[in-house]
Amino acid sequence: MSFDSLAEIKVQVETPDYDSGNLQSILSEIKFALEQLLQQNKTHCIDLRAMPWSPGEETRLEEYLGRGEISVELNALGKSSFYETRFSGIWIVTHYNQQDEIIGKLIEITYMPDMIYAQYEDVKNSLERLQQP
């Protein structure tokens, strides 16, 4: 048997209930960012891969934030998934590479993640293509 990536190896990870304090601190960061978004229209972004997670902690955060009304899939240099959590204004963004490995994971506190908007350069490119005979 051979595997191309770690994700193919089915391992059941048991996750004891560690409390490293990461969850509380990240939740208070999110709360503060939401206030800022409402009051000053300031967006915020947290790199989830820069957190010293204990086993299972990241999953617990995702379970707590849950899934909301909208999710978007992007296909550029591999897949990317954007979804709003059950708390409106809090988005979870996951970027994958062409091998389906996670290359970036973020929490965005914003009305809409910037990358979902059509990009100026791309729109310009579209017009150029349409203008070609």
Partner 1 sequence: MNKKTLFELLQQQGITRRGFLKYCTALTSLMALPPAMIPTVAKALESARRPSVIWLSFQECTGCTESLTRSHSPTVEGLIFDYISLDYHHTLQAASGAAAEHAREQAMKDNYGKYLVVVDGSIPLADPGYSTIAGISNLDMLNETVAGAAAVIAVGTCSAYGGLPHAAPNPTGAVSVSSLIKDKPVINVPGCPPIPTVITGVLAHYLTFGSIPELDELGRPKVFYGQSIHDRCYRRPFYDKGLFAETFDDEGAKKGWCLYRLGCKGPMTYNACATLKWNQQTSWPVESGHGCLGCSEPNFWDAGSFYQALSIPDGDYARAAGYAAAAGVAVGAAAGFVHQKTKSTAVAQHSEISVDDFSLNKD
Among 41, 121, 129, 130, binds partner 1 (CB under 8 A): 121
Among 34, 103, 110, 112, binds partner 1 (CB under 8 A): 103
Q: Is 52 a binder of partner 1 (CB under 8 A)?
A: yes
Question: Contact, 47 vs 106, CB < 8 A?
Answer: yes
- How does DSSP assign 53-89, residue by residue? PPTTHHHHHHHHH---S-EEEEESSSEEEEEE-SSTT
Q: Is 73 a binder of partner 1 (CB under 8 A)?
A: no
Taking the complex as a whole, how short is the minimal distance between the CB of residue 4 and partner 1, in angstroms? 12
Taking the complex as a whole, how short is the minimal distance between the CB of residue 91 and partner 1, in angstroms? 12
Stretch that binds partner 1, among 32-40, 41-49, 61-69, 84-92 (CB under 8 A): 41-49
Q: Is 130 a binder of partner 1 (CB under 8 A)?
A: no
Q: Which is nearer to partner 1, 66 or 104 (CB)?
A: 104
Between CA 109 and CA 48 the distance in angstroms is 13
3-class SS at 112?
A: coil
Cβ-proximal residues to 124 (8 Å cutoff; 6+ apart), any chain: none
